[in-house]
Amino acid sequence: MAGAENGESAEAERPETPNSESHLSADGDKPERLSKLPLTRIKAMMKLDPDVTLASQESVLLISKATELFIEALAKEAYVHARQGKRKTLQKKDIDNSVEEMDSFAFLEGTLD
């Protein structure tokens, strides 16, 4: 192993599996996952659509990242409503208020009933 002789760890030579895609965190110790959501479950949900026969790992990762960003935006907007009510804990009414207030969340109207 030439890499280990040059001071590189053997882990650097090991290929990554599709479900373990990661980058080193800022401190360089622990790998940071590209997705916080379980990719196998995302892929399973994608395959529930009869029009989807194959789902590439890149498309699963993209859907996962888009979902994370959507959840983050909804949670941040709901948190604004919680803070207006002088609370730190999100409640269903905070999410409802966010859905009613933001045009980008209009497609969610009536889904939480």
Segment 56-111, tens digit of pLDDT:
999 999 999 999 999 999 999 999 999 999 999 999 999 999 999 999 999 999 88
pTM > 0.85: yes or no:
no
DSSP 45-103: HHTTSTT-S---HHHHHHHHHHHHHHHHHHHHHHHHHHHHTT-SS--HHHHHHHHHH-G
pLDDT in tens, 46-59: 999 999 999 999 99
pLDDT in tens, 19-36: 445 555 566 666 677 889
> What's the pLDDT at 111?
85
